[in-house]
């Protein structure tokens, strides 16, 4: 089979490799749609593991099933989570699935930018879902990123009517805007440094979208009836965004750290202000099974419509162009790779 092998953001090679063998309890899935995630082009995060096949936002068709697999059959349309929790450790039992050792070490083989993947037994058991009738493969490829956003909102304690600031209007920021609108948020304000992304934020449901340099506390308060926000979500992994979020929430507000900073980055925080105003800081990662099911229901029911988010469909041999589009940002929102086209 063919696979797009990542060496760095500017070096994606189409290579031949064997179709993975499957063992008992495993399934082989033919990839139909695979989204390029913003984290795929986060080079500081990926380069240390190169070369490898990336791609974790996937939807496909079961090609073969191993012995003892009775929950899936060839021809089934499935969404597969690459990370799954054990649901038994001390972290899982407290609902902190993202801290589970198994979640942090599981994956499928080799990755979604390939024609086929092998799904290990634990992923078959805990992270493989039948795609509802009527939900396209492209839409099902959004289950994983939307599940991460669902997890973030649930972790942050979002409540209907909350006013929310979304800092960064890339794909995750736009998904937050759509989910916030679907969940009954009050005022939604988005920021970015790219005019095209700000336009997208407005189209996706933000009440206001402004250049990040203009998003001072005074300006934000004027946009929100004289007060700051109940929740601020960091959807861009740069230090100024975190500092801006900390200064943009109202008394008793919450800052959700969604996009990561590179390891070793330290931030000096206005500790007294955070203490005095009782600001809560929450971080989140991944989308465990319950969040994946909620994301799938949101997509299948039409409460979240992603058709206006897909800007490019590319065959596997143009994966390098897809990485360029996502890394540069202004020409694309979501790029979908279709390996078998």
In DSSP notation, 12-24 reads EEEEE-PPPP--T
Q: Give the rounded distance of the alpha carbon of 142 from its chain centre.
A: 8
What tokens does 24 get? 């008992």
Confidence at residue 44, expressed as pLDDT on a 0 to 100 scale: 85
pTM of the model: 0.95
Q: How far apart are CA 326 and CA 170, in angstroms?
A: 9
Compute the average pLDDT of residues 170-195: 97
Q: Closest Cα partner for 141 from 295, 332, 330, 18? A: 295
Confidence at residue 330, expressed as pLDDT on a 0 to 100 scale: 80
Q: What is the pLDDT of residues 27-40, one digit of tens each?
A: 999 999 999 999 99
Q: Would you give the DSSP letter of residue 224?
A: T
pLDDT band at 316 (very low <50, low <70, confident <90, very high): very high
Compute the average pLDDT of residues 161-179: 97
Q: What is the pLDDT of residues 88-133, one digit of tens each?
A: 999 999 999 999 999 999 999 999 999 999 999 999 999 999 999 9
What tokens does 87 get? 């649901």
Confidence at residue 118, expressed as pLDDT on a 0 to 100 scale: 98
CA angle (7, 9, 12) in 5-degree steps: 50
Confidence at residue 271, expressed as pLDDT on a 0 to 100 scale: 93
Share of the chain above pLDDT 70, in %: 100
Q: Phi and psi at residue 61, in whole multiples of 5°?
A: -120, 135
Q: How far apart are CA 21 and CA 37, in angstroms?
A: 27
Residue 25 pLDDT more than 90? yes
Q: Which residue has the tokens 């989204």?
A: 35
Q: Give the rounded distance of the alpha carbon of 127 from its chain centre.
A: 16
What tokens does 132 get? 């509802």
Q: Closest Cα partner for 307 from 132, 61, 77, 142? A: 142
Helix axes 171-182, 143-155, angle to 10 degrees: 60
Confidence at residue 203, expressed as pLDDT on a 0 to 100 scale: 97
Max distance between CA atoms of the chain, in angstroms, equals 63
Q: What is the pLDDT of residues 234-284, one digit of tens each?
A: 999 999 999 999 999 999 999 999 999 989 999 998 999 999 999 999 999
Compute the average pLDDT of residues 68-78: 97
Alpha carbon separation from 335 to 151, 227, 268, 313, 327 (Å, rounded)? 23, 37, 36, 6, 11
Domains and CATH numbers, the chain: 2-147+287-338 (3.90.180.10), 157-283 (3.40.50.720)
């Amino acid at each position: 089979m063919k696979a797009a092998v990542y060496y760095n953001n500017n070096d994606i090679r189409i290579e031949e490799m064997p179709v993975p063998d499957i063992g008992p309890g495993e399934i082989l899935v033919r990839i139909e749609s695979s989204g390029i995630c913003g984290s795929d082009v986060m080079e500081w995060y990926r380069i240390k593991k190169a070369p490898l096949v990336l791609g974790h936002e996937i939807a496909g068709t079961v090609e073969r099933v191993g012995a003892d697999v009775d929950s899936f059959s060839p021809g089934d349309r499935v969404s597969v989570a690459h990370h799954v929790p054990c649901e038994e450790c001390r972290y899982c039992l407290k609902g902190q699935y993202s801290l589970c050792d198994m979640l942090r070490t599981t994956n499928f083989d080799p990755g979604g930018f390939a024609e086929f993947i092998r799904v290990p037994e634990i992923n078959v058991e805990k992270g493989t879902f039948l795609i509802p009738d009527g939900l396209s493969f492209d839409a099902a490829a959004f289950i994983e990123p939307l599940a991460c956003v669902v997890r973030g909102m649930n972790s942050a304690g979002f409540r209907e009517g909350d006013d929310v600031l979304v800092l960064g209007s890339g794909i995750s920021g736009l998904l937050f805007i759509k989910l916030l609108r679907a969940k009954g948020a009050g005022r939604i304000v988005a920021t970015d440094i790219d005019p095209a992304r700000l336009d997208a934020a407005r189209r996706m449901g933000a009440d206001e979208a402004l250049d990040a340099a203009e998003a001072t506390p005074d300006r934000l308060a004027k946009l929100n009836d004289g007060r700051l926000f109940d929740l601020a979500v960091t959807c861009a992994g740069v230090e100024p965004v975190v500092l801006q979020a900390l200064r943009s929430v109202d008394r008793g507000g919450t800052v959700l750290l969604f996009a990561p900073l590179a390891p070793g980055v330290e931030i000096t925080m206005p500790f007294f202000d955070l203490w005095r105003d009782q600001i809560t800081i929450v971080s989140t990662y991944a989308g465990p099974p319950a969040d994946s099911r909620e994301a799938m229901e949101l997509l299948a029911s039409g409460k979240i419509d992603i058709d206006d988010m897909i800007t490019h469909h590319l065959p596997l041999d143009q994966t390098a162009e897809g990485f360029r589009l996502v890394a540069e940002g202004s020409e694309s929102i979501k790029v979908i790779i279709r390996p078998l086209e």
